[in-house]
Amino acid sequence: MLSRPSAPATLAALAAACTAAGPALSQTSVTFGTNWVAQAEHGGYYQAVVDGTYAACGIDVTILPGGPQVNNRAQLLAGRIDFYMGGPLGVLSAVQEGIPMVAVAADFQKDPQVLMTHPGRAATFADVAALPTYIIGDEGFVTYFLWLQSEYGFDPARRVPYTFNPAAFIANPDSAQQGYVTSEPFAIEQQAGFKPDVWLLADQGYPAYSTMIVTMQPTIDRRPEVVKCFVEGSAIGWANFLYGDNAAALAKIKADNPEMTDDQLAYSIAALKSYGIVDSGDAATLGIGAMTEARMKAFFDKMAAVGVVAADVDYTKGFTLAFTNKGVSLPVSQALLGK
């Protein structure tokens, strides 16, 4: 099942949360650029579009999917879009370069990055580090792999490039391969007929947020009510997508990405829930989108320690807590879950 009917109480909770989002705007047009083609990992934003959550607080949102030939981060820098689905490293890089790019919410409390191993091949994460082959892409090799090397003793000499084809991993039971918890394990099951063991880096101590809502400081300065509406509307959208009736959102995702299948969508949603990607940790009390300075500092400190970012970067310039941590998603989630 991809969706279930929302409880009547949810409508009241949603109305209350939308009211809390502030005075209605005059349907301001907003464009949100995602980081990849349409998929379940973008579901909360699609949900808030199709069920009228964004419209309820006054913004008309267009979702601009990313992809291999689309650079929505550049679109944000050029002023062609209003918000971008980014990550903490991108924000820190912007601060280092003097670019006024700011994260205003973190809709994924856990980074979905995983390493996969063949069933039963590794009993502990130390066993993963001891494998003779790691299949890691170039971007990962210069970012989170440096943390793996520092924290767990992963050997860079054992790394081979990931070509986004799982054949090498499937053929080699003594290898580990990178992936997203919502995607690559499903691909392995489909192609190889076995379920890989999945090691979520977040559960091994990697403190990165993911799927952050990023905008430019001038947008915050000139249109704070739009930022507030988008942040809070997105949080409510995620609650409804995960726990309410998401059929219309799924249909819109498939319209934007005709190659997406129902099976993949169902797998991704189940993974988002079971691993607590969206609503674990601080989101349980502060609501979806939660961020804290302590968490941002922990990530910065680890990245600075391994040389991913310069130690003198003022990480506090890369985020603001002014728009999140308001708990607006909590009554929606609680109503849908019958709490």
Q: Establish if 43 belongs to a structural domain.
A: yes
Q: Is residue 197 part of a domain?
A: yes
pLDDT (0 to 100) of residue 162: 96
Report the DSSP beta bridge partners of residue 62: 31
Residue of 308 and 339 predicted with greater confidence: 308
pLDDT tens-digit profile of 276-305? 999 999 999 999 999 999 999 999 999 999
Report the pLDDT value the prediction gives residue 339, as an integer from 0 to 100.
82
So what's the pLDDT on residue 7?
36
Structural domain that includes position 45:
8-109+208-336
Is pLDDT above 70 for 272?
yes
> Which of 184, 204, 224 is a domain's end point?
204
Same domain, 100 and 138: no
Under 8 Å between Cβ of 202 and 208: yes
Give yes or no: residues 91 and 121 share one domain.
Answer: no
Residue 164 sits in a domain whose CATH number is 3.40.190
Instruction: Tell me, yes or no, whether 293 lies in a domain.
Output: yes
Residue 298, pLDDT score: 97
Specify the pLDDT at position 1: 30
Cα–Cα distances in angstroms (integers) from residue 71 to residues 34, 67, 135, 254, in the given order:
9, 8, 25, 21
Is 2 part of any domain? Answer: no
For residues 175 and 188, membership in a common domain is answered with yes
- Res. 327: pLDDT tops 90: yes
The tokens of 335 are what?
């109503």
Cα torsion through 303, 309, 313, 315, rounded to 10: -40
Same domain as 241, residue 193: no
pLDDT single digits (tens) 10-66: 444 444 444 444 444 579 999 999 999 999 999 999 999 999 999 999 999 999 999
pTM of the shown model: 0.93
CA distance 332 to 303: 35
Q: Where are the strands (E) in the chain, listed by range?
A: 28-33, 59-64, 83-86, 101-108, 113-117, 133-136, 159-161, 175-180, 197-200, 210-216
Residues 142 and 20 in one domain: no
pLDDT in tens, 175-225: 999 999 999 999 999 999 999 999 999 999 999 999 999 999 999 999 999
Mean pLDDT of 66-87: 96
Q: What is the mean pLDDT of the chain?
A: 93
Q: Are residues 125 and 272 in the same domain?
A: no
CATH code (residue 266): 3.40.190.10
Same domain, 12 and 88: yes
